[in-house]
Amino acid sequence: MTLDVAVRNFAICEVRSGYRLVGTPVDAIMVHYVLAGTLHMAVPGHETVICGPGSVAMVPPRLQSSMTADAKPAEQIVGVEQATVSRGGLLVFDAAKGGPGELRMACGLIVASLSGSFGIFDKLEVPICEDLSDVEFVRHAYSVMLDEIAQPGLGTHALTGALMKTCLVMVIRRFLGRPGADEALIGALADPRLAAAVAAVLDKPAAPHTVARLAAIARMSRSTFARKFTEVFGIGPMEFVAKTRLYHAADLLRSTKLPIKVITASVGFASRSHFSRAFRDAYGSDPSNFRKAAAIAALDVPRPLPGLRRHLALREDA
């Protein structure tokens, strides 16, 4: 399936013993990769999550979390009040009062959706921690991400997004592979019949899909399929079809020079005017202006982040 991962922010977090770094609830997944020390993460209503170096911890959207370097009582520090922002967009959260922290993490705000249609973690209600210290690729991926953030260049956003996506997939695999894991984490995995219908749309978004045809693929009655699909994914089957088509159209506008008329037909719209209206409603811009903006953004190389490499080197030496 088409997993789309967008990295909103990337941050370095330092936490010293005796301090508690408190995060603000957001409509995105907060992902923490433990570089050094032991993470003690508290989420109200849940047991404290403890993660060692090489572990990845995930906080579901709209849940507040706090992090300490140990289990001792700690002075509370609100993250947003102790954050500095570099010109390149990197956030540095300092809960170590300027010194080295026993706990060091690389953190990111992640929005993950299936083909741009719905959040795959919408049903996740508990924090997750998976030990990936034995996965060499994950260690290397975070090292590359930190280097890219420190010295941005053409394609930095795309590269960090792709690496974060791969790490996210590894976390999902580990989580779902554990006995008793909640497979409702990703709705499509909970019912292979729905997965078959979703795969049909993703494979051929321009096909003349209808609720009846998708129900037949799922081997369910039309009414049962429509109800179950909406319950699991939060949108109706035809809304999913429309969003998937527009998602593919946006990708073609960004990555090719195909005429808009050709793109219109290739994603299943009968007329350009209908396509343009739908695209404007979804992306806030007509296809032509969207393509121009995407081309400009691709040429906008971010500036290097002043002092970050030295900052990280000093932290590592400490």
**3-class SS at 268?**
coil
Same domain membership, residue 10 and residue 55 = yes
244 in any annotated domain? yes
Same domain membership, residue 202 and residue 71 = no
Same domain membership, residue 136 and residue 201 = no
The better pLDDT of the pair 89, 313 is held by: 89
Q: Give the residue-averaged pLDDT of 205-221.
A: 93
CB-CB contact of 184 with 176 (8 Å): no
* pLDDT recorded at residue 303: 42
Q: How far apart are CA 70 and CA 41, in angstroms?
A: 10
Same domain membership, residue 197 and residue 177 = no
Same domain membership, residue 212 and residue 94 = no
* pLDDT recorded at residue 277: 93
Q: How many CB atoms lie within 10 A of CB 262?
A: 11
Q: Is the pTM of this model over 0.75?
A: no
Q: How many CB atoms lie within 10 A of CB 31?
A: 23
Q: What are phi and psi of 42, to 5 degrees?
A: -110, 130
* pLDDT recorded at residue 210: 95
Same domain membership, residue 136 and residue 47 = yes
pLDDT in tens, 74-96: 788 776 666 666 555 566 777 77
Six token digits for residue 282:
């979804």
Can you give the length of the chain in residues? 318
Q: Give the percent of the chain with pLDDT over 90.
A: 18
Six token digits for residue 102:
């026993």
68 in any annotated domain? yes
Give the pLDDT band (50/70/90) at residue 40.
very high
* pLDDT recorded at residue 96: 77
CATH (domain of 236): 1.10.10.60
Q: How far apart are CA 175 and CA 166, in angstroms?
A: 14
Same domain membership, residue 223 and residue 135 = no
Same domain membership, residue 246 and residue 107 = no
pLDDT in tens, 122-146: 666 778 888 888 888 888 888 887 7
Domain that holds residue 61: 3-185+305-317
Same domain membership, residue 268 and residue 149 = no
Same domain membership, residue 136 and residue 256 = no
291 in any annotated domain? no
289 in any annotated domain? no
Same domain membership, residue 236 and residue 91 = no
290 in any annotated domain? no
CATH (domain of 60): 2.60.120.280
Exposed / middle / buried, residue 274 (Cβ in 10 Å: 0-12, 13-18, 19+)? exposed
The count of domains in the chain is 2
* Beta strands in 126-195, from DSSP E residues, in sequence order: 128-131
* pLDDT recorded at residue 105: 85
Same domain membership, residue 206 and residue 165 = no
171 in any annotated domain? yes
